[in-house]
Amino acid sequence: MQGKRQDVAKNVILFLGDGMSIPTVAATRMYIGGEEELLSFDKFPYTGLSKTYCVDHQTADSACSATAYLGGVKGNLGTIGVSAAVGKKNCTAMNLKENEVDSIARLFQLKGKRTGLVTTTRVTHASPAGVYAHTAYRRWESDSAVLKSENDPKECRDIAYQLIFGETGRNLQVILGGGRKNFIPKEEEDEEGKPGARSDHMNLLVDWTKQKERLGLKYEYVSNREQLLNVKHDTEYMLVLSFLIGGGIG
């Protein structure tokens, strides 16, 4: 039997099953065959456990837990990519650089590595947003959501905006998931004839393409399966967005 490899990994892929607590995984084993049944990841050579509580709540949500497993720092319930010095909906604290928590994606970028995120929910949802966002409230997925909470979108930059213009977000080579409406203004429709959600008249999809053009990068914006299957092999940056209304846990 070949021994375990101990050399340095070329690539790192983090798979996250949102809501997969120990009881949930145990229930899955029992459902498919009993307590002694093995799931694919049960066969891995190593196992680790983490405590996922928030600083201010015993039961975590997808926001503070994303900050913990992607940034190594615990935050408050509902906050993403910031330390516990930032309370929910506190824009002032959110904008202080010393309160930002860099994700593992940002750390890899600083090392010159390529990074990306792929999700079955909205790319602006709390779990994937932990890769790139720094926000005092997980629900601020578009500027309209910031306005709804009676805050200034120019002071509290929404999560979609941060994905396109933020230091980590704009450097992601692959972005694939749902939530397209958060990038399109209300007065416009997407490729499926569905209206956007933004109130600031900004089309962030257009901004993304212009951003890559200015830098002379090879990019593709993809909105359907056919386009995805025909992405050019030399594409450097890829943004894949579907409409996708719901999805995600916590």
Residue 144 among the catalytic residues: no
Which segment of 40-54, 138-152, 219-233, 236-250 scores lowest on mean pLDDT? 236-250
Q: Quick one: pLDDT at residue 1?
A: 45
SS (H, E, C) the chain: CCCCCCCCCCCCCCCCCCCCCHHHHHHHHHHHCCCCCCCHHHHCCCCCCCCCCCCCCCCCCHHHHHHHHHHCCCCCCCCECECCCCCCCCHHHHCCHHHECCCHHHHHHHCCCCCEEEEEEECCCHHHHCCCCCECCCCCCCHHHHHHCCCCCCCCCCHHHHHHHCCCHHHCCEEEEECHHHHCECCCECCCCCECCECCCCCHHHHHHHHHHHCCCCEEEECCHHHHHCCCCCCCEEEEECCCCCCCCC
Q: Does some domain include residue 127?
A: yes
Q: Does some domain include residue 34?
A: no
Which segment of 44-53, 81-90, 138-147 scores lowest on mean pLDDT? 44-53
Q: Does some domain include residue 7?
A: no
Q: Could you tell me the residue range of the domain that residue 123 belongs to?
A: 51-241
CATH of residue 138: 3.40.720.10
Q: Quick one: pLDDT at residue 249?
A: 44
Q: Does some domain include residue 29?
A: no
Quote the pTM value.
0.92
Share of the chain above pLDDT 70, in %: 96
How high does pLDDT run on average in the chain?
A: 93
Amino acid in the structure at residue 146: V
127 assigned ligand-binding residue: yes
pLDDT digits (tens, 9 = 90+) for 3-28: 777 888 889 999 988 888 899 999 99
- Name the pLDDT band for 245 (thresholds 50, 70, 90): low
Q: Does some domain include residue 212?
A: yes
* pLDDT for 117 beyond 90: yes
Share of the chain above pLDDT 90, in %: 86
Q: Does some domain include residue 169?
A: yes
pLDDT digits (tens, 9 = 90+) for 128-185: 999 999 999 999 999 999 999 999 999 999 999 999 999 999 999 999 999 999 999 9
**Given 62, 65, 103, 242, which residue is catalytic?**
62
- Name the pLDDT band for 218 (thresholds 50, 70, 90): very high
Q: Does some domain include residue 59?
A: yes
Report the domain count for the chain. Answer: 1
Q: Quick one: pLDDT at residue 2?
A: 62
Q: Does some domain include residue 42?
A: no
- Name the pLDDT band for 246 (thresholds 50, 70, 90): low
Asked if 128 contacts 172 with a C-beta cutoff of 8 angstroms, the reply is no
